[in-house]
Chain A
């Protein structure tokens, strides 16, 4: 499991987050909508997981360990991301 709950206020994404992690992450975000998401230890994010992050729009603790996601993905909103 690469999605873990650290405590009531934070959820951690670690290492390679696969599609199966999306369900677990969603459940945790439903249970504690105010929890912060720490995705610094994550180095590869699957689209399904990214989609949950985009849909739930939690507060994130970054930068995301997946540099590509950090660069290109709008976090928690559907706004476009500017080129560097």
Chain B
């Protein structure tokens, strides 16, 4: 995938998320000018970038969406639930396309039809209020169709006579390269059995010398009799280039006739302005030549499409000059000239586009550099190695010192201190690169809460706090799913139906608060709802029914302890299973995920008042490479950092050194000790003939081979420090949780070597 496409995908995802946020905020808090501005800007930029990577379906849908937002801005359309739903549905569709584009480099074949349907649906909202005063269907007719009808109404009437016919308007805008695909647009049009009117648009003025006979520049607009199926069949190979619109048999619109030209001018203006903004915003970065080419092409296409051929040629030439001269200046100048020349209407979104341009150029603090996660991880690993290397430098300095070269060793120590400081700073700054605001993780929640509350018929307000709190990306990534479970549960089981809340003297609209804060090196997330709370008696009853706990244990259990039962595996309090939560895989998944992060989850509740789930995880998790070994029938983890090598030793190489065993490894005698003995487990003496499995461990000057029974696995794991009574136990680095849920003790071999 090209740089441009990659950039498009990641930007589009961001913009879709932004637009979703704004839509939900508008629905919740009402229309605010700056929100609408931001929303328009997001839609507008999406449209512009779709043009840049040449995804016409997306441009089409985004243009209609932009118009809808424009209508909200000018109070022509009320931002009610239906309108917001429609706009969100549009974003969902576009997100699916972006995903498809990311995966396959192109949109699914159905995209053209989907885009047209979406645009029609979006426009039906603008037409609903702004359209025909009699409120009839003609308000939905596209401008080109009503213009065509207006021009040919009398002739069509004459051709039809007294017949009642099913009429359709067809816009066929062939791709410029369609001849190379073997298309002959006239041949398709010829197949329409009852063609009633045809308008052919060709570029108005052309220098024949510049004319490319193999670029299709014609556009066809037709009115024909149905049936629709027949028409669709004729154009089945070019669905993305054709629109077929039902014409109402009775009323013929007049009002929209004049929109076409200005509308087109607006689109062309917007596309060109966008190219300019993109170029300026990206002026310092790499891949500029690709961007120049794409921008010139998109702008020239748009101009040609709008009938501004001379300007189109000018822009195309300027684009070529820009490439030759390796500067964007000629193209930018040509784009500005084209903008002035088209002049006239300023598309509402251009204002906001300019604001975004100012942002991109002015405020250095808002500049971002996108870096693939893998590269950051590579840096983290490299800096880790640097730390190790730095340690060996210390060792070297001591050696020099021991050889009596004090002057040299002092100098080395001084340098080593400096390197140590630098390496530590380096490591920390690189780890900081992985820190991201948790707000990122909270992104999907407003949408989810909105959709679910609509579905349940509940009224819920979501409040988020502390979105700017930063945490390691790995933590943020792993927390988002558990958090989804908690919020779904709060919405499903916590918040009551509006009438129930009203009867209980609560406000009808419930609230769910996600508050994130940083406490030392921990991130604390509290999800609080003001719903019915969790009834410990019901929890106990359910736990007993499920056989999770015995009667005696229940009797001895405090209410607080009973609440913790919701985190047990297989527990669900939903009396009827909803498809949202209550499948019995809710809160235990949360606990497991949080455990794996080395965190803790707890719940508090007051019946009738609400519940709070508190998740507490380390700000950053360092993963350790672990080897899982078996010894005396038990499994232990050993940090790979301490392992120099593993050796399979035939018994004849084992030497008896005094009372110990040892063997020679590269001219060094390495003592052998059994892991079972080291940690005080009953070990079995093996038969003398057996080969021995040894892990060679070096700790400072000490070297030893630790005998184990088997190596089971190697994995990257997050170490959780030993807690409580075990916190001071020697010989253990911590614990980690294996994929199957079992706890693995990770040994600190350096600590327990004799």
Contact = CB atoms under 8 A, between A and B. Distances in A.
Given A46-B184, A83-B159, A83-B196, A51 B201 contact: no
A19 B214 contact: yes
Contacts of B208: 26, 29-30, 33, 55-56
Contact of A80 (B151, B189, B216): B151
Most-contacted residue by chain B among A25, A29, A51, A69 (CB, 10 A) = A51
Residue with the highest number of chain A CB atoms closer than 10 Å, among B183, B197, B208: B208
Interface string B188-229: 011000011111111110101101011011100000000000
A56 B209 CA distance: 10
Contacts of A69: 186
Contact of A83 (B155, B189, B190, B209): B155
Nearest to B158: A83
Given A82-B155, A83-B155, A51 B216 contact: yes
Contact of A55 (B196, B201, B211): B211
A50 B213 contact: no
A52 interface: yes
Contacts of A22: 213-214
Interface in A52-72: 52, 54-56, 68-69, 72
Contact of B159 (A29, A48, A72, A84): A84
Contacts of B25: none
Contacts of A55: 202-203, 206, 208, 211, 217
Contacts of A30: 208-209
Given A83-B152, A83-B156, A83-B197, A19 B184 contact: yes
A26 B152 CA distance: 32
Nearest to B174: A47
Nearest to A76: B202
Given A23-B213, A81-B198, A47 B185 contact: yes
B179 A72 contact: no
A26 B207 CA distance: 11
Interface string B174-187: 10000100011111
| Contact size range, A | 20 to 34
Contacts of B155: 82-84
Nearest to B188: A47
A27 to B, nearest CB: 9
Contact of A72 (B184, B198, B203): B198
Given A54-B218, A74-B200, A81-B198, A47 B209 contact: no
Contact of B190 (A54, A68, A74): A68
A51 B184 contact: no
Interface residues of B, number: 34
Interface string B216-258: 1110000000000000000000000000000000000000000
A13 interface: no
Contact of B214 (A48, A50, A80, A81): A48
Contact of B186 (A33, A46, A84): A46
A45 interface: yes
Nearest to B205: A55
Interface string B125-167: 0000000000000000000000000011001101100000000
A33 B208 CA distance: 9
Given A56-B208, A82-B155, A47 B187 contact: yes
A82 B184 CA distance: 23
Contacts of B211: 26, 52, 55-56
A47 B218 contact: yes
Contacts of A68: 186, 190
A78 B179 contact: no
Contacts of A50: 186, 218
Contacts of B213: 22-23, 25-26, 48, 51-52
B177 to A, nearest CB: 12
Contacts of B151: 80
Contact of B184 (A47, A54, A73): A47
Given A25-B213, A54-B218, 19 more contacts: A29-B208, A30-B209, A33-B208, A46-B186, A47-B174, A47-B218, A50-B186, A51-B202, A51-B217, A55-B211, A72-B198, A73-B186, A78-B201, A78-B202, A80-B152, A81-B198, A81-B199, A83-B197, A84-B159
Among all A-B residue pairs, the 6 with the closest Cβ atoms: A83-B155, A22-B213, A80-B199, A47-B186, A54-B202, A47-B185
